[in-house]
A and B are shown apart, each in its own frame.
Chain A
């Protein structure tokens, strides 16, 4: 990963943030393309293991959003 190509793993709740991301998409809003979204059924499904796994596999930051 270089300075200008960062990877942020985003764990998005299906019902909240994933919907918001979808809405942002259909509204043609512009936002940085550094985020790699992973849809989870609920933020309660998230385990600390997921966050560590993401870091271990080399992402630059983790974002959890409900």
Chain B
């Protein structure tokens, strides 16, 4: 992945210099180690600011929306991992953007690391992070740790089966090998094995630390509604406080709004300041979308999502 960045920069500089695109959206270094931030470049002189490493956990499709493109700007290029590209496809399928408006710089991705797992190895603040191939070197004031990247991958990257972008204009590197999994939905099945009360307790425990900051919603490229249901005040569908039922309602509906659209990019979990694995909700829906409709979001441009289209073959055994 270290070599990709040179190519991303070269492609970005070329696109901007030729005027093919007006902006390049990519990752740049953040202000602390192990943090990257999204960045929009308008000049080819700035391309050296672009980075791509194992801590680019956010989803850049989030920064390309109807609003950001509405004023007839030129094309926008987006540095897209497998999941980002799938979310761009979802945007196109849902008529948020048109295919002509974006230029996808596809990046083959070998996964992002779980920052909380790394932080757990240290007692003090991390001051340095370096990546060489599959090895990560992390330093703090007291010690230096070397870990294999595969050991600290995020869960959604461990179970990712679409590491290469399904749709792209140019690839910044050779495609990586896709994973094949024996039990892709092991986590969902584990919850499903519990009885009803245990499941309810599990989810109540899961969301008990939620502070309702809505970072999961804001990080999600699918959440582009002008007014989110949690912000609606007449009628007010869900209370704004810490009441556990309000919290559960929020998480349930947030997840359900992503049904058949979620690409399991993990940006929601990445953004959560409390370390809540909100993917426990969306994973179940992804599993159902796959099992009931044979659907995985964001792979093709010419098919409607399952909850958006009718087919005589749709499962209907739940209807009396």
User: Which residues of chain B are within 8 angstroms of A49 by Cβ–Cβ distance?
Assistant: 229, 237, 253
User: Which residues of chain A are within 8 angstroms of B237 by Cβ–Cβ distance?
Assistant: 49, 52-53
Please classify how large the interface on chain A is, using the bins under 10, 10 to 19, 20 to 34, 35 or more. under 10
B249 touches A48 (CB 8 A): no
Instruction: Judge if A56 is at the interface, Cβ distance under 8 Å.
Output: yes
* Dominant secondary structure at the A interface: helix
Closest to B229 in A: A49
CA distance A53 to B245 in the complex (A): 11
CA distance A55 to B9 in the complex (A): 53
Instruction: Judge if B256 is at the interface, Cβ distance under 8 Å.
Output: yes
- Write the nearest CB–CB distance from B188 to chain A, whole angstroms: 20
Binary contact readout A32-66 vs B (1 if CB under 8 angstroms, 0 otherwise): 00000000000000001100110010000000000
Instruction: Judge if B252 is at the interface, Cβ distance under 8 Å.
Output: yes
CA distance A53 to B239 in the complex (A): 11
* Dominant secondary structure at the B interface: helix
Closest to B235 in A: A53
- Write the nearest CB–CB distance from A34 to chain B, whole angstroms: 16
Closest to A66 in B: B319
A56 touches B245 (CB 8 A): yes
User: Which residues of chain B are within 8 angstroms of A56 by Cβ–Cβ distance?
Assistant: 245, 249
User: Which residues of chain A are within 8 angstroms of B253 by Cβ–Cβ distance?
Assistant: 48-49, 52
CA distance A10 to B245 in the complex (A): 22
CA distance A53 to B256 in the complex (A): 14
User: Which residues of chain A are within 8 angstroms of B256 by Cβ–Cβ distance?
Assistant: 48
| B 250-278 contacts with A by CB, 8 A | 252-253, 256
| B 202-242 contacts with A by CB, 8 A | 229, 237
User: Which residues of chain B are within 8 angstroms of A52 by Cβ–Cβ distance?
Assistant: 237, 249, 252-253
CA distance A45 to B256 in the complex (A): 17
CA distance A9 to B309 in the complex (A): 27
B positions within 8 Å CB-CB of A? 229, 237, 245, 249, 252-253, 256
A positions within 8 Å CB-CB of B? 48-49, 52-53, 56
- Interface pairs (12), CB distance under 8 Å: A48-B253, A48-B256, A49-B229, A49-B237, A49-B253, A52-B237, A52-B249, A52-B252, A52-B253, A53-B237, A56-B245, A56-B249
Additional pairs, 9, CB under 8 Å, beyond known A48-B253, A48-B256, A52-B237: A49-B229, A49-B237, A49-B253, A52-B249, A52-B252, A52-B253, A53-B237, A56-B245, A56-B249
Q: Please list the 3 inter-chain residue pairs (A to B) with the smallest Cβ-Cβ separation, ordered nearest first.
A: A49-B237, A48-B256, A52-B249
